[in-house]
A = this chain, B = another copy of it.
């Protein structure tokens, strides 16, 4: 079925069917000038947005349409996780090239609907337009948080431990496997590919960290560990020591990095899109934080420490100190 034959309103009808039924907080969803939401009294509102552009953020050569939909929402959910919040409602804008089939657009909304279901997000509106060349999708997500439980980037203090919620580099390993057509099954590639195409947002972990009272800052790892730690240090007016040997990987990541001829550390530091959380913990709080995360099946790993700003931001590898640099993707330089 061609999108042209459905027309704009036929397409919107088709796509709306892939979206979960709205919850009680939605007084008006799709079908008026704006959505109308009933906020939980006493909560703060979180708001975040991400735009994904074809051939910049993903290639349709290896990205299934279902993944485009899932990921467009998941990257936003991850930002809510990094504040210790809960996601609530989203709008979805999509620019669809005429070459797409109606079924392709439906697959995008299938992935989107699955992600919305997984994280309890109401899709409350959007804009469905034509794009001459490239597929583009923009999601804006609201969340809520308790006023005394929002965790900013800026709270890290010298002496705090730096921890991550899980292994890093999986998304970069998956991207390498997809780019090089390494089939699932060979060298445990399935998990990295899954991590790249259908990333999980650490909502429960972010929530537990914020509630613990010991966590002084959180970032989600969207641009690589290096860039995220540097953001925390800059916002907090602090330095850091990052222990290269402590950074955790899975066997699948390590295997793939050997095939690619790079170190897994490179992927962890600069690969991005892992959507694990990096966070800092007050001195003496590590055991309590480990305990609350263990309850939800998460085993955090300590990868370094916050230090005074005059000590700078350094990476310690084989006993050698080097300056920690961001090295992530710059949209306008590359």
Residues of A participating in the B interface, judged by any CB pair closer than 8 Å: 3-4, 6-9, 11, 27-28, 31-39, 41, 43-51, 53, 55-57, 79-80, 82-83, 85, 89, 91-96, 98, 124-134, 136, 138, 140, 142-143, 145, 150, 152-154, 218-220, 235, 330-333
Find out whether the CB atom of A332 lies under 8 angstroms from the CB atom of B98: yes
Contact of A93 among B43, B50, B56, B332 (CB under 8 A): B50
B142 touches A33 (CB 8 A): no
Q: Is the CB of A49 within 8 A of B220?
A: no
A150 and B33 in contact, given A91-B49, A332-B8 (Cβ under 8 angstroms): no
Closest Cβ of chain B to A280, distance in Å, is 14
With a CB–CB cut-off of 8 A, which chain B residues contact A143? 34
| Contact of B35 with A93 in the complex, beta carbons under 8 Å | no
Do B89 and A47 have beta carbons less than 8 Å apart? yes
CB of A55 to closest CB in B, whole Å: 6
In the assembly, what is the distance between CA of A85 and CA of B27, in Å? 15
Given contacts A36-B150, A152-B32, contact A130 B332 (CB under 8 A): yes
Closest to A124 in B: B47
Most buried by B among A7, A9, A48: A48
Measured in the bound complex, the distance between the Cα atoms of B130 and A53 in whole Å is: 8
CB <8 Å contact, A127 and B235: no
Q: Which residues from chain B contact A38 at a C-beta distance below 8 Å? A: 44-45
Contact yes or no, B82 A33, CB < 8 A: yes
8 Å CB contact of A130 from B31, B95, B235, B331: B331
Q: Which residues of B contact A41 (CB under 8 A)?
A: 41
User: How far is the CB of A60 from the nearest CB of chain B, in Å?
Assistant: 13
- Closest chain-B Cβ to A163's Cβ sits at a distance in Å of 17
Q: By the criterion CB–CB under 8 Å, are B36 and A129 in contact?
A: no
CB distance from A331 to the nearest CB of B (A): 4
A93 touches B33 (CB 8 A): no
Residues A133 and B134 in contact, CB atoms below 8 Å apart: yes
Contacts of A3 in B (CB 8 A): 332
The answer to whether A332 and B6 have CB atoms under 8 Å apart is yes
Q: Which residue of B lies closest to A127 (CB)?
A: B51
Q: Which residue of B lies closest to A10 (CB)?
A: B332
Are B83 and A33 interface neighbours, CB within 8 A? yes
A34 touches B85 (CB 8 A): yes
| Extra A-B contacts (12), CB below 8 Å, given A33-B82, A37-B44, A130-B331 | A4-B333, A28-B150, A32-B153, A33-B153, A34-B83, A37-B46, A47-B91, A47-B124, A48-B125, A49-B125, A51-B94, A127-B138
